[in-house]
């Protein structure tokens, strides 16, 4: 659980002209590997550039100073492995969604090829706030929903690929090959040929299949040149980092590293296994770069952002300093953009991440959906690109609100003994003894909720623990119907103002979104139930997020923020939940939704209420000193656990038994 934090203050804007700096980050712990700085420094920014880094820069020399004491200040993070060309492939994400993770530069890893790069550039790269660079797929038409198209050797043209790279030398930083599943080495050979002509690195995502003739695990390394990048290093079905009998890092991996071959994490939904990462870290085989392989399958449940991936490695023994180096200087060097990027040197581009290293107990999930319970978590507090603050978690840059937070008393739930229901039904999942708030049924109290497949099958005072295949102790949490958000712009594919539904709904307890403009493509790509309808009946007390691509960054617009704001206005919790379940269901004419009902789809949210001092940015873009915050801990959509921040439904990896994704 997050500790309550004290609110911070912003020095008032100075009045006189002549201050040389636009912004001063004051009192932070600077980690700037390029300049060997690892200590408390002030960082001054002017004209979008780093102006000065020094021990004590007076606040009088700047228009704006922000207190970042007890936080880390680093160069903006660089993610070498992402997938953001939305039209190229369904499993891609909105690029600017990386900004809340301190990431200021991302590299799209081969979604586009030379034939469709121009469209990628025009529709995504030129319009994003984050800096997007790209590795061009060796396949001319790039990645596709039909992965077999990456087997099309006839569409691999090294000359055309290299020619496109030379046309856009400031964006195209190399070549990618992935998903090749035919016998032989055609994909690797063509990609390296393109890299040789363009004089750029190649990133390889190359599976070893014993039936494809590519079963010599070191042969791919022999073809790789110094500077080429092997990604997904911590899985166990590609180059096999470890000897599976001795657990030792293979000698040819050490040799390849010595020769200059680079190893990228490429976390994704299949690239990060706890036992492989732990063995490698303990033997000193650290990754060169911390790419995330960011796509919809890795960002929600697995939370595979750069800071979260660094956190995972830190909980396996890597230092924070090693993590920052591998997310700044190393990737910048790998793509030939150092020291233009990844330094806080005077005169450098002011891309900056302000990070918090939280201590407590946290759950982290790997690609096999197994958990590591750890004690350190790195989180982003502020993100600056070209000196502009694009993400500001605690509202340090916004004015304080004059409103005072007040809380209604929270509902009380007694613990009572109940007679268990008898019978011979086996349940897939039982949420035990949650504090249920189900306004549609006027059901308030502790209940057990049983789910089979995708449906709620039983809601009772007490169900036998032994009848559940999996039981989750929900007794510390509030359990509600999945929330319904009736004011959200989710047209993220065709419009630049829409947000991608899953990332902005599932972690906030939302299982249904209504947007009258939602297209079929958006609906198809979302696990969240997206309804192309608007509010038909005006209802009082409706709570919605109002989210769009602008305010999810600027204000962290979300349903839990909207709920938290109401809670701090003194609205009772039960009424807050009603405004996000029953009332929106009525407003869109879907009264079958927003309630917990036996026989209905299992759309359920679980929340905790954290009390303490929090900063919330309100609808008027003011910073409210809040007394409580609603945080979603688990979301179940159509019977599947799709968000589980404490890993309540997940086994610890050391107790999880046989552990391999080898195929």
* Residue numbers at the binding site for Zn ion (CB under 5 A): 109, 293
Q: Which is nearer to Zn ion, 109 or 202 (CB)?
A: 109
Q: Which is nearer to Zn ion, 62 or 231 (CB)?
A: 231
The span from the CA of 326 to the CA of 335, in Å, is 13
CA pseudo-torsion sign 206, 315, 7, 18: negative
Q: Which is nearer to Zn ion, 293 or 555 (CB)?
A: 293
- Distance from first CA to last CA of the chain, Å, rounded? 38
CA distances from 231 to 190, 228, 301 (A): 18, 10, 21
Q: Which is nearer to Zn ion, 293 or 502 (CB)?
A: 293
- E strands, 171-295, are 172-178, 202-205, 229-230, 262-263
Residue 232, classed as helix, strand or coil, is coil
The span from the CA of 41 to the CA of 152, in Å, is 53
Q: Which is nearer to Zn ion, 293 or 515 (CB)?
A: 293
Q: Which is nearer to Zn ion, 269 or 531 (CB)?
A: 269
Q: Which is nearer to Zn ion, 293 or 578 (CB)?
A: 293
Torsion of CA 390, 396, 397, 401, to 10 degrees: 130
Q: Which is nearer to Zn ion, 74 or 231 (CB)?
A: 231
Q: Which is nearer to Zn ion, 93 or 314 (CB)?
A: 93
The span from the CA of 187 to the CA of 148, in Å, is 12
Q: How far apart are CB 108 and Zn ion at their closest, in Å?
A: 9
Q: How far apart are CB 636 and Zn ion at their closest, in Å?
A: 28
Q: How far apart are CB 592 and Zn ion at their closest, in Å?
A: 39
Q: Which is nearer to Zn ion, 78 or 109 (CB)?
A: 109
- For residues 579 and 591, the answer to whether their CB atoms sit within 8 Å is no
- E strands, 397-528, are 427-438, 443-452, 455-460, 468-473, 478-481, 483-485, 510-514
- E strands, 454-602, are 455-460, 468-473, 478-481, 483-485, 510-514, 529-531
Q: How far apart are CB 367 and Zn ion at their closest, in Å?
A: 12
Q: How far apart are CB 298 and Zn ion at their closest, in Å?
A: 9
Q: Which is nearer to Zn ion, 135 or 616 (CB)?
A: 135
Q: How far apart are CB 150 and Zn ion at their closest, in Å?
A: 11
The span from the CA of 354 to the CA of 36, in Å, is 18
- For residues 527 and 506, the answer to whether their CB atoms sit within 8 Å is yes
CA distances from 151 to 111, 247, 271, 436, 652 (A): 14, 33, 21, 51, 37
Q: Which is nearer to Zn ion, 76 or 271 (CB)?
A: 271
Q: How far apart are CB 378 and Zn ion at their closest, in Å?
A: 22
Q: Judging by DSSP bridges, how do beta strands 352-365 and 262-263 pair with one another?
A: unpaired
Q: How far apart are CB 266 and Zn ion at their closest, in Å?
A: 6
CB atoms near residue 393 (< 10 Å)? 16
Phi/psi at 451 (5° precision): -125, 135
Q: What proportions of the chain, in percent to the nearest 5, are helix, strand and coil? A: 25, 30, 45
Q: How far apart are CB 361 and Zn ion at their closest, in Å?
A: 31
Q: How far apart are CB 85 and Zn ion at their closest, in Å?
A: 12
Q: How far apart are CB 291 and Zn ion at their closest, in Å?
A: 8
What is the three-state SS of 71-99?
CEEEECEEEEEECCCCCCCCCCCCHHHHH
Q: Which is nearer to Zn ion, 77 or 143 (CB)?
A: 143
Q: How far apart are CB 98 and Zn ion at their closest, in Å?
A: 14
Which helix (H) or strand (E) segment is 585 a member of? helix 582-587
Phi/psi at 48 (5° precision): 80, 5
Q: How far apart are CB 205 and Zn ion at their closest, in Å?
A: 6
Q: How far apart are CB 526 and Zn ion at their closest, in Å?
A: 20
**Residue 582 structure tokens:** 């029953």
The span from the CA of 584 to the CA of 565, in Å, is 18
For residue 339, whether the previous peptide bond is cis, meaning omega lies within 30 degrees of 0, is yes
Name the residue whose CB lies closest to Zn ion.
293
CB atoms near residue 594 (< 10 Å)? 29
Q: Which is nearer to Zn ion, 467 or 525 (CB)?
A: 525
């Amino acid at each position: 659980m997050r500790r309550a934090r004290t609110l911070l203050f912003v020095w008032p804007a100075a009045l006189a002209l002549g201050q040389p700096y636009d912004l001063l980050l004051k009192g932070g712990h600077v980690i700037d590997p390029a300049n060997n700085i690892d200590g408390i420094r002030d960082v001054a920014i002017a004209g979008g550039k780093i102006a000065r880094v020094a021990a004590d820069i007076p606040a009088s020399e700047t228009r704006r100073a922000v207190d970042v004491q007890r936080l880390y200040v680093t160069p903006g993070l660089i993610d070498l492995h992402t997938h953001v060309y939305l039209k190229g492939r369904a499993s891609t994400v909105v690029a600017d969604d990386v900004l809340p993770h301190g990431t200021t530069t991302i590299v799209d890893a081969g979604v586009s090829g030379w034939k469709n790069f121009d469209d990628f550039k025009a529709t995504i790269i030129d319009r994003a706030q984050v800096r997007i660079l790209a590795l061009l797929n060796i396949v001319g038409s790039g990645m596709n929903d039909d992965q077999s198209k990456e087997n099309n050797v006839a569409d691999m043209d090294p000359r055309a690929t290299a020619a496109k790279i030379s046309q856009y030398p400031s964006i195209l930083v190399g070549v990618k090959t992935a998903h090749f599943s035919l016998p032989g080495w055609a994909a690797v050979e063509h990609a390296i040929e393109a890299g040789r002509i363009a004089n750029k690195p190649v990133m390889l995502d190359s599976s070893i299949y014993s039936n494809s003739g590519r079963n010599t695990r070191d042969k791919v390394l022999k073809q790789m040149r110094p500077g080429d990048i092997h990604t997904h290093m911590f899985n166990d079905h590609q180059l096999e980092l470890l000897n599976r009998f001795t657990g030792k890092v293979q000698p040819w991996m050490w040799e390849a590293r010595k020769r200059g071959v680079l190893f990228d994490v490429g976390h994704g939904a299949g690239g990060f296994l706890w036992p492989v990462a732990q063995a490698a870290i303990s033997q000193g085989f650290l990754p060169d770069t911390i790419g995330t392989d960011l796509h919809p399958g890795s960002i929600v449940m697995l939370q595979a952002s750069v800071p979260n991936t660094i956190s995972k490695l830190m909980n396996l023994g890597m230092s924070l300093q090693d993590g920052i180096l591998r997310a700044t200087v190393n990737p910048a060097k790998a793509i030939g953009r150092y020291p233009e990027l990844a330094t806080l040197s005077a005169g450098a581009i002011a891309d900056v991440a302000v990070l918090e290293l939280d201590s407590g107990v946290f759950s982290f999930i790997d690609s096999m959906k197994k958990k590591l319970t750890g004690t350190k978590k790195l989180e982003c507090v502020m993100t600056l690109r070209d000196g502009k603050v694009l993400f500001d978690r605690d509202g340090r840059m916004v004015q304080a609100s004059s409103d005072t937070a007040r809380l209604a008393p929270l509902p009380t739930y007694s613990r009572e003994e109940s007679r268990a229901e008898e019978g011979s039904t086996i349940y897939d999942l039982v949420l035990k003894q949650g504090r249920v708030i189900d306004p549609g049924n006027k059901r308030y109290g502790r209940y057990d909720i049983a789910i089979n497949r995708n449906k709620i099958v039983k809601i009772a005072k007490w169900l036998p623990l032994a009848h559940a295949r999996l039981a989750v102790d929900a007794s510390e949490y509030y359990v509600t119907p999945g929330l319904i958000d009736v004011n959200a712009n989710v047209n993220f594919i065709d419009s630049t103002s829409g947000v991608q539904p899953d990332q902005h709904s599932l972690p906030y307890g939302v299982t249904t979104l209504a947007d009258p403009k939602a297209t079929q493509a958006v609906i198809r790509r979302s696990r969240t139930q997206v309804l192309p309808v608007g509010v038909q009946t005006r209802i009082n007390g409706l709570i919605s997020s109002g989210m769009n691509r602008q305010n999810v960054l600027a204000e962290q617009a979300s349903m839990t923020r909207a709920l938290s704001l109401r809670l701090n206005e003194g609205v009772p919790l039960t009424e807050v939940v009603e405004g996000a379940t029953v009332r929106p269901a009525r407003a869109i004419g879907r009264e079958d939704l927003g309630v917990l009902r036996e026989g209905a789809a299992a759309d359920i949210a679980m929340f905790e209420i954290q009390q303490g001092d929090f900063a919330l940015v309100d609808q008027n873009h003011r910073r409210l000193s809040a007394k409580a915050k609603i945080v979603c801990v688990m979301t179940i959509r159509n019977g599947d656990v799709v968000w589980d921040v404490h890993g309540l439904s997940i086994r610890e990896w050391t107790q999880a038994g046989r552990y391999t994704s080898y195929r």
